[in-house]
Structure 1
Amino acid sequence: MQSEPHPAVPRRERLWVGVTTAVFGLWLVLWALVVPAFQAPDEAAHLDAAVHVATGSGWPAPGTMHVTNAVRAALQEQADGDSSTWSTVSGLLTAHPGDSTTVNQMSQHPPTAYVVDAVVLRALHYGSLRWDHALVALRLVDAVLVTPLALLAWASVRRVTRSPRAALLGALALFAVPQLASIGASVTNDAPTLLLGGVVVWLATRLLTGDLRRRTLLTTGVALGLLVWTKGTGLPAVPFIAAVTLAAGAGVLTFPRRLLRTVAVLGVTAAIGAWWWLRNLVRFHTLQPDGYAALRPARPFPDGQGPSVWHFLDVSWGTLTRTFWGSPGQRAQVSIGDLLTAVLTLVVLVVLVGWAFRRGRTRRAAWCLAVFPALLLLVQTASSARAYLDTTQVAGTQGRYLFPALLCLVVLSAVAWRRLPLPGRGRAALPLVLSVAFPAIGTWGIAVAAGWFWNTASGPISAASVDRYEASGPVPFALVAVVGVLVVVGWATVVVRLWAPSGVSSRTP
């Protein structure tokens, strides 16, 4: 893509982007309040890791950190019922000192996210908080971290397509992935990873669309360094940014100059984030030791049986699609529907493969943006295949592991959908249909989750569900209802604005 001037964004467009971002933040808050404590993936382990750091217990080697007895006691209190009897964090630490025999696998990651959580806990004087309130406080901090993803999605799509309407739809598309909200509004090291991954992708779109300034290059290196310092799922972003900086400015800058810029940005990244991974190579002779090693020991296949490619692909496909779109719960036991997630995946893949990479102004950017999600999928599949061969279990496949590159998929989708060969009326109606479909999928997702968790998995929410929430939820149900109403009103406002003839234009100003 050649370097071309990009017009200023009108004030009215900025206003609607701000509204959409605020609604996305409220959407995350709603998920933080609806999902019961410890029901997000690995949330007990994430909270326990934060408590380890907050209490000064350090960061032990992978596989050697154990869940505190205090967190195990909190799990037991939750299972017993009424939240009015639940203990404070100090009460749990005093009554249940020390560590259990249960391995906490989170020490396989850098401690970065948990240091942030520990700072928050200390600032809130966590010892005096009831344990579920401390957990919700960390959830809300993560929700704040993930909220800018809507703004970054708009900015990235806007930069590549130059379409105000496509950009606003790009931000609205985040609501169509209920799993994103479920993960982003939980206690997890994925929250800062999502934010930093979004920043890296946005900066990549700027580089690919002609922003060749040194400060943009430096900022990219800093953001990438922080990303790889936070979680291993950020490591595939390193070759991604290398590909971006080598491609950025082609036809304007010579190849030696672009190569020098690539070395520079990777040098900044290494100075900030490489130390943890070099430490692993020196101490453990591997880039990321397996914190699950003690939980999933190696074992041979039963006599007469062996690895099955079909079984591996079948389980991987089902797990990836389900846990990408919407499968909340500690063990991903809730699903917004296997048929729905399969259809959504197939539609997106067909549109992406068919129209995102065709000749045109955005072709080079599209190929570069595809590198990040492709590498994440490849690394995850290779790791899962190795685990399957060693342990006979198809494990480690999670659609949420693609979320650091989610904005790449959003931008590619925006490019592809705009190129669909539709008749005049169909082309005009498509963005309007999508503007309704995105919030509708999100609404279905949270309705399924709420029904599962608060109506004993037996159907939609009811009066009995409200009673259960009042008994063991972290806040009064009225507050949840208010947040839900604000989200619906926000959705309706943005959708009406997109449908209005004088709404957001599809043309470049």
Structure 2
Amino acid sequence: MKVVLTRKRFIGATAVLTAAYLILLITWAYVTPAFRSPDAPMHYNSIMRLVNGGGWPDPGTARIDEGVLTVGKEGGLVSAEATGFNQRYFSTVPDGLIQGTGDQFPWIHPLPEDDRAVPEFGDGYTSGIDQMTQHPPVYYGIAAGYLKVLGADHWQWDGQLLALRVLSALMVMWVVPATVYTARKTGLGRRLSLFAGLGIFAIPQLAHVGSSITNDSLYILVGALVLAQSARVLFGNPTKRDVVISGLLLGLGLWTKATFLVFGLVVGLSFVLARAAIPAGRKWLYGVSAGMLGVVVGGLWWVRNLIVYGSLQPSGMKIAQADWGTESPDLRDFLPIAWTDFVESFWGKYGWLEIPLPSWMIPTLTLCAVAMAILGFIAAKGRRTALSALLPFPVLVFAIILGQSWLNYVYTGQVAGMQGRYIFPAISALAVLVAWCFVSLRRQLEPRFAQIAECVYVISVPLIASYGVWWMLQTVYRDNDELLKFSWTTWDRWSIATGATLKLWVGATLGIFAIIMIVGCYLARACKHGDTPPAHVYPTHRDIESLERTGNQPGHVERDAESDEFLKQHAPVPVGAGAVSLGSESHAEGDAHAGGIESDPSIAHGSHEESDVSDAAEQVEQGDQVEQDDQAEEGDQVEHAEESSLDDVRTVDQLRGVAPVRPTDDQPGTANDDQPVVAHDDRTRGAHEPEFENSGIESAGEVPVEQIERAEPQVGQDSTDPASDEPDASFDGASDAQDKPE
């Protein structure tokens, strides 16, 4: 049975995915021991300093409060004799990369929950430096206000940590719907857009960082929103409102980290490369205006740094210079270490980069992701230039941190700063690119093999997420005598959530993952084989809706006799249960060469003779069937139709530039449950049939919208929504440049 993923079901599925990711993030918040995430004590110190009115000191001058060190000792991160958060005082974990002087964490006996301290701040400071004042204070101000509203400033430290972790989870959870939205805007169908959102679950490190106390949570959230807005601009009709929204989001992001400056290029390119039919000068004006607004909103902090400190981001820590002696830094030594650190910390390197995922898992995930991204980019025919506008951030940020790490290596002799989390704000773009690979698989593979590939994907992703949680549990709470290699009792003693049960959240995570796997496989099995339509398939009303909704309508043009004659010959009408002719029924029965398209009376009576237009038949028939199955979807289409003016006349070139044809669910030459689809074959082309790709459409003249008709659905035929299953396809053979309106 063919599944119909209507708009309401699509929104509901997106909400379920978002809720599932929130549950996963909260599970991680419970699993991770106190301060066992990158720079957590320093982030906590900066937040509590603001809570207690301590302000925002100059970079390199802020000290770590004694109250924070007390939390580190009671939480088991450092030994009781520690005078700071130097890693030599750290407790170690089984198979961990940090070898401190502390005891093995799983065998430390923690304080009872009731004896944990309520931190007092301002009574004294350690010798450690809080380097977080090198960043803007916006995230820390939000977190401090959040604790004040909750009244958590006088809680025990475990309650404060949990509250701050939940705040991070509430920020990062929105990456999932932002990714789904971005995928939909780039042209993916509803099903594959959900697959893109599911891809976020496949990165355990993102969930680990996203549930920690860190300014990365706001950094990741705003990055995902910028990408979603940029996709809206790229594939929509940019307006002044989009300029304001893009500029404000860019400005907000600039108040998180310096690397967010790279998103200025993404915002600018999204306007310049927008596919809408507006003058190039206006696109440049919009792009520059959005960038300038972002600089005005968020650039003041960085301008201040340049004026006061002479540096865009002054270092918050003092580092010692290495003595290379007779040797010199060598790129051949540096690059392998830097690449390994980056890739491992992208997929999973928990704690203080001390708990990497298994060595076999990292290269496997990397190779799969790279291969899928390449296939996805190839599959996005006609959209590659626009999609490329979403990708500069991960590429340029990697180049920036690589250069900074090399300079640090030359100065200190240590490779530092190569962390994959710095590109997490652009994770949506990478997930969308991976989801596009399924378009390629549906085109190239037999239906059953494409379905198997999608089922493997929707099963593997939740398994990877679950395995990531288990790997952390069996490392920090290890008990080799237990079946799962970790002790629930050990976790309960260390839990930062008084009275909370880890089993409840782990069970909820596994339960919703099971639902996702079952529903995902059902969608993969129920959705048919799809491919982009032939270039001569004429657009239907559904294909023009985006043009009408955005108001991107060319002015009214008087029709001439040539236009009317062309439409009379090619307007799609229902002609039977088996196929649809592009000519009228009378032409199909009478003139075999009407409009230059070879027709046959048998086609009009439902036979399955070979026809060059059978692909167009499926496209036209399916365009209206989803409204028969779902009244809500029908109402949505009627609303769109009411917004449009049926008196507008558009040329075919304009329609091709702004509203590309959506593909059918059935590839030419494959079966459609009850009715066979005739393969496209040049040998069946009539002597007078026009070459639509080169001359037919271009010479057609103006085409009035009111004469673009859709076929009525046939009784007993499966219903589908071509916009909900496969991507909006550009015309075959059209390059990126050709796909844009002039």
Higher mean alpha-carbon deviation, 270-279 vs 347-356, is at 347-356
Say which SS state the counterpart of residue 128 (structure 2) adopts. strand
Using the TM superposition, give the Cα deviation of residue 478 of structure 1 relative to its aligned residue in structure 2, in angstroms. Answer: 6.1
Distance in 1 of aligned mates of 2:365 and 2:72: 35
Task: Give 2:29's match in structure 1, choosing from 21, 28, 32.
Answer: 32
Task: Give 1:508's match in structure 2, choosing from 711, 714, 723.
Answer: 723
Say which SS state the counterpart of residue 396 (structure 1) adopts. coil
Is 2:163 the counterpart of 1:137? yes
Task: Give 1:325's match in structure 2, choosing from 336, 339, 347.
Answer: 347
Question: Paired residue for 1:243?
Answer: 269
Question: Paired residue for 1:21?
Answer: 18
Distance change (3 Å), C-alpha of 1:270 and 1:298: same
Say which SS state the counterpart of residue 255 (structure 2) adopts. helix
Task: Give 1:66's match in structure 2, choosing from 59, 63, 67.
Answer: 63
Amino acid at match of 1:186: S
Distance in 2 of aligned mates of 1:107 and 1:478: 34
Question: Paired residue for 1:256?
Answer: 281
Counting only pairs closer than 5 Å after superposition, residues 443-462 of structure 1 correspond to structure 2 as: 443-455=466-478
Structure 2 residue runs of 5 or longer lacking an equivalent are 81-109, 529-721, 725-742
State the number of aligned residues: 493
Question: Paired residue for 1:10?
Answer: 7
Using the TM superposition, give the Cα deviation of residue 443 of structure 1 relative to its aligned residue in structure 2, in angstroms. Answer: 0.9
Using the TM superposition, give the Cα deviation of residue 408 of structure 1 relative to its aligned residue in structure 2, in angstroms. Answer: 1.2
Question: Paired residue for 1:489?
Answer: 511
* Offset from partner CA, 1:219-268 (integer Å, 9 cap, x none): 11111110111222311111121122211146x12221111101210121
Does the CA contact (< 8 Å) of 1:299 and 1:390 recur in 2?
A: yes
Q: With structure 2 as the length reference, what TM-score do the two structures score?
A: 0.64
Using the TM superposition, give the Cα deviation of residue 70 of structure 1 relative to its aligned residue in structure 2, in angstroms. Answer: 0.8
Is 2:490 the counterpart of 1:468? yes
Say which SS state the counterpart of residue 102 (structure 1) adopts. strand
Counting only pairs closer than 5 Å after superposition, residues 279-290 of structure 1 correspond to structure 2 as: 279-290=304-315
Does the CA contact (< 8 Å) of 2:162 and 2:497 recur in 1?
A: no
Using the TM superposition, give the Cα deviation of residue 503 of structure 1 relative to its aligned residue in structure 2, in angstroms. Answer: 8.0
Question: Paired residue for 1:199?
Answer: 225
Counting only pairs closer than 5 Å after superposition, residues 394-405 of structure 1 correspond to structure 2 as: 394-405=415-426
Say which SS state the counterpart of residue 391 (structure 2) adopts. helix
Say which SS state the counterpart of residue 170 (structure 1) adopts. helix
Using the TM superposition, give the Cα deviation of residue 459 of structure 1 relative to its aligned residue in structure 2, in angstroms. Answer: 8.7
Distance change (3 Å), C-alpha of 1:121 and 1:359: closer
Question: Paired residue for 2:111?
Answer: 82
Does the CA contact (< 8 Å) of 2:438 and 2:454 recur in 1?
A: no
Say which SS state the counterpart of residue 460 (structure 2) adopts. helix
Amino acid at match of 1:265: A
Higher mean alpha-carbon deviation, 466-475 vs 412-421, is at 412-421
Using the TM superposition, give the Cα deviation of residue 197 of structure 1 relative to its aligned residue in structure 2, in angstroms. Answer: 0.5
Structure ranking higher in helix proportion: 1
Question: Paired residue for 2:150?
Answer: 124
Using the TM superposition, give the Cα deviation of residue 33 of structure 1 relative to its aligned residue in structure 2, in angstroms. Answer: 0.5
Question: Paired residue for 1:155?
Answer: 181
Does the CA contact (< 8 Å) of 2:30 and 2:502 recur in 1?
A: yes
Question: Paired residue for 2:193?
Answer: 167
Using the TM superposition, give the Cα deviation of residue 62 of structure 1 relative to its aligned residue in structure 2, in angstroms. Answer: 1.1
Distance in 2 of aligned mates of 1:212 and 1:407: 21
Distance change (3 Å), C-alpha of 1:13 and 1:62: same
Question: Paired residue for 1:47?
Answer: 44
Higher mean alpha-carbon deviation, 53-62 vs 96-105, is at 96-105
Distance change (3 Å), C-alpha of 1:504 and 1:71: farther
Is 2:439 the counterpart of 1:418? yes
Report the aligned-residue RMSD.
Answer: 2.2
Greater relative contact order (CA < 8 Å, ≥ 6 in sequence): 1
Question: Paired residue for 2:452?
Answer: 429
* Offset from partner CA, 1:463-496 (integer Å, 9 cap, x none): 9721112222123686221122222221222221
Using the TM superposition, give the Cα deviation of residue 360 of structure 1 relative to its aligned residue in structure 2, in angstroms. Answer: 1.6
Distance in 2 of aligned mates of 1:452 and 1:434: 27
Is 2:211 the counterpart of 1:182? no
Say which SS state the counterpart of residue 315 (structure 2) adopts. coil
Higher mean alpha-carbon deviation, 410-419 vs 259-268, is at 410-419
Using the TM superposition, give the Cα deviation of residue 351 of structure 1 relative to its aligned residue in structure 2, in angstroms. Answer: 3.2
Question: Paired residue for 1:3?
Answer: none
Give the structure with higher Rg (CA): 2
Question: Paired residue for 1:225?
Answer: 251
Distance change (3 Å), C-alpha of 1:262 and 1:184: same
Question: Paired residue for 2:362?
Answer: 341
Distance in 2 of aligned mates of 1:432 and 1:229: 41
Distance in 2 of aligned mates of 1:426 and 1:229: 47
Q: With structure 1 as the length reference, what TM-score do the two structures score?
A: 0.92
Distance in 1 of aligned mates of 2:367 and 2:335: 16
Distance change (3 Å), C-alpha of 1:174 and 1:59: same
Distance change (3 Å), C-alpha of 1:346 and 1:161: same
Using the TM superposition, give the Cα deviation of residue 401 of structure 1 relative to its aligned residue in structure 2, in angstroms. Answer: 0.7
